[in-house]
């Protein structure tokens, strides 16, 4: 089998800047991830991530959520668009929409997300400010498999940063996202190497069940 035949197919969903997308594009181009990104899909036409896709020669697709009356109708269209590319893996990279249970069930064990908190802390929005307000000493990001409940699937990897005194949420977010761009390509690589799977709502790397806070949790 040629190297090209072994490449996994990835569809990436974005809503904004797409700097995590860029890190994964770069890692694929450099041969660090045995995969090809076959499409980037956004719910927002203005998302800079779409521009990044075009620059890299990747099909960029808009499925605008404002054109659909219900979440279910939107998710059906999203499903139809994704299915055209028959991906092995769907990567949520700053995709700021809640996905319906029906949608998620189509891709059990095939969808990863990155969330800017040390899950299970701070699911949802404004995670950096919430960590500061709580007086936490550390914050970070988590890559996890997507399951039906928001930001709730098994964690694969976390990265931590200290919270310094008088640091505002914007500064903290900048330090966290630097870590995100390091860790997300690594997890995507594990998946594409067939080393990472989800089974019965648990993540396994090289056949070993990962702890609640992911690989190398301690
Ligand atoms: C990242 O910080 C990511 O963790 C977050 O959005 C940002 C996207 O940045 N995702 C979420 O909050 C999802 N709940 P990017 O567009 O530059 O990759």
In percent, the amount of the chain with pLDDT more than 70 equals 97
Per the domain annotation, does 214 fall within a domain? no
- Indicate the number of domains in the chain: 1
- Give the number of the atom of ligand 1 that is nearest the alpha carbon of residue 17: 16
CA distance 152 to 48: 27
- Is a pLDDT exceeding 90 seen at residue 70? yes
Ligand 1 pocket, residue 19 CB under 6 Å: yes
Q: Average pLDDT, stretch 132-139?
A: 98
Which string of DSSP letters, residue by residue, matches 66-91?
GG-SSHHHHHHHHHHHHHTT--SEEE
DSSP-derived pairing of the beta strands 138-145 and 155-162? antiparallel
Residue 120 domain flag: yes
Q: What is the pLDDT of residues 110-125, one digit of tens each?
A: 999 999 999 999 999 9
pTM over 0.95: yes
pLDDT of residue 4 exceeding 80, the answer is: no
- Whether the per-residue pLDDT at 5 is higher than 70: the answer is no
Residue 218 within any structural domain of the chain: no
Given the DSSP bridges, would you call strands 89-92 and 155-162 parallel, antiparallel or unpaired? unpaired
Distance from residue 31's CA to the centre of ligand 1 (Å): 24
Average pLDDT over every residue of 175-194: 98
The answer to the question of residue 217 being in a domain is: no
CATH number, residue 82: 3.40.50.170
């Amino acid at each position: 089998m040629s190297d090209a035949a072994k490449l996994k197919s990835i569809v990436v969903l974005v809503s904004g800047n797409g700097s995590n997308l860029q890190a994964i594009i770069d890692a694929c181009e450099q041969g660090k991830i045995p995969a090809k990104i076959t499409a980037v899909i956004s719910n927002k036409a203005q998302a800079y991530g779409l521009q990044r896709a075009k620059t890299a020669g990747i099909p960029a697709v808009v499925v605008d959520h404002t054109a659909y009356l219900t979440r279910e109708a939107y998710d059906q269209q999203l499903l139809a668009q994704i299915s055209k590319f028959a991906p092995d893996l769907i990567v949520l990279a700053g995709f700021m929409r809640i996905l319906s249970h029906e949608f998620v069930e189509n891709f059990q064990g095939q969808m990863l997300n990155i969330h800017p908190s040390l899950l299970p802390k701070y699911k949802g929005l404004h995670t950096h400010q919430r960590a500061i307000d709580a007086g936490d000493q550390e914050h970070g990001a988590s890559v996890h498999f997507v399951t039906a409940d928001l930001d709730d699937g098994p964690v694969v990897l976390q990265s931590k940063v200290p919270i310094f005194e008088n640091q505002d949420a914007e500064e903290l977010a900048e330090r966290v996202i630097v870590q995100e761009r390091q860790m997300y390509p690594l997890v995507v690589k594990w998946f594409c190497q067939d080393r990472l799977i989800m089974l019965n709502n648990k993540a396994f790397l090289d056949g070993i069940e990962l702890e609640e806070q992911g690989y190398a949790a301690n």
